[in-house]
Structure 1
Amino acid sequence: MTHPKDVLIDWLRDAHAMESQAVEMLERQVDRIENYPDLLVKAREHIEVSKRQADRVRQCLKMLGTDTSSIKTGIGMLMGNAQSLSGVFASDEIVKASVFNYAFEHFEIANYRAMIAAATTAGQPEIARILQQSLDEEVEMAGWLEQRLPQVTATFLARREAGATVEAKR
């Protein structure tokens, strides 16, 4: 049998990789969204939030007497790079990236909720409390993206119809 603490450790390592993926993905996106200043500011802000979340996860792992997985973190970073590059040649990259970011936020939300439940079951209320901070930040970001997705789409379509540059420099 696997103890809930062991599962929690594995999931925390996954979460560190997930946050590394988020940072990598957002860092690539900020290079290409200058025509969408609200998104640019929020993406830069969320890079810093994601870095803090990765630090929190690392702190939780240390509290459990272990550390991150360099293999999982490396794979997460590669996946973030691959995802951010997948839309580079699409004329509607900004809309696709916004939709993906919104979906990714919900992926993170689900993971944090599962980890909080695991931490509670494993008798680690302080870890659950720390993870709740990250969950709250992800819920805020998902709500922000949800509110702006219609406007990003409308701006993209208006710029495209007017023949303006729809994406930022490459």
Structure 2
Amino acid sequence: MTDPREDMLRALRDAYAMERDAERLLGNHATRSTPDPEVNARIEAHLTETLANQKSLASCIDRIDANDTIQQTFPDDSPAAIETGDIVQTPDEVVRSLVNLYVFKHQEIASYTSLIAIAEANGFFETKLACETIALQQIAMADWLLDHLPAATKAYLGQGGSAALTG
């Protein structure tokens, strides 16, 4: 039989690592400006949400085990500030990046859905609430990406790009 507390901590550590991966993906996109200011602004806003999610998950871990070393396991190696506009992505890079982010958002949604079930089943209700909040952010971002992929794709095709964007 597994220990519910350890199961919860393991799942939270996995979610924290996933948020660190999201930070890198979003950071890479944010440092490479797209031709669309709305896309740039939304990516940067979601990066800010992602950093807040990391803090929320670290707080959940600390509530369950004050001796956990999540910050030592994942040292803060994020840049102090994201600077945009240095490199402009080509339209095909924008589309590929948005597709990759969309897929990653759905992985996060599935992971948080599972994490919410673990928290609920084991009585970690503050953690459940925190994860539900994060899951809603992931769903909102996935929906936003889905809404904006057609325009990004059409912009790419309008500049002579190939229709084979996902391969």
1:161 aligns with 2:163: no
| Contact kept? 2:91, 2:155, Cα under 8 Å | no
SS of alignment partner, residue 70 of structure 2 = coil
Q: Which aligned pairs between 1:107-146 and structure 2 lie closer than 5 A?
A: 107-146=107-146
Cα deviation for residue 161 of structure 1 reads: 2.5
Higher helix share: 1
In 2, the alpha carbon distance for the partners of 1:156 and 1:50 equals 28
Q: Which sits farther off after the overlay, 135-144 or 24-33?
A: 24-33
SS of alignment partner, residue 157 of structure 2 = helix
In 1, the alpha carbon distance for the partners of 2:56 and 2:49 equals 10
Cα deviation for residue 70 of structure 1 reads: 4.6
In 1, the alpha carbon distance for the partners of 2:98 and 2:47 equals 15
1:17 aligns with 2:17: yes
2:27: which partner in 1?
A: 27
| Contact kept? 2:34, 2:94, Cα under 8 Å | no
* Structure 1 unmatched ranges of 5 or more: 78-88, 163-170
TM superposition score normalised by structure 1: 0.79
Cα deviation for residue 145 of structure 1 reads: 0.5
* Structure 2 unmatched ranges of 5 or more: 79-88, 162-167
State how many pairs are aligned.
148
1:46: which partner in 2?
A: 46
Give the aligned CA root-mean-square deviation in angstroms: 2.3
In 2, the alpha carbon distance for the partners of 1:161 and 1:102 equals 24
TM superposition score normalised by structure 2: 0.80
Read off the aligned partner of 1:146 and give its amino acid letter.
L
SS of alignment partner, residue 148 of structure 2 = helix
Q: Which aligned pairs between 1:57-136 and structure 2 lie closer than 5 A?
A: 57-65=57-65, 66-68=68-70, 70-71=72-73, 73=74, 92-136=92-136
Instruction: Give the direction of change, closer, same or farther, for the CA distance of 1:67–1:131 in structure 2 (3 Å limit).
Output: farther
In 2, the alpha carbon distance for the partners of 1:153 and 1:141 equals 18
In 1, the alpha carbon distance for the partners of 2:103 and 2:64 equals 30
Q: C-alpha deviations, 1:140-168, integer Å up to 9, x for none?
A: 1011001111111011121x229xxxxxx
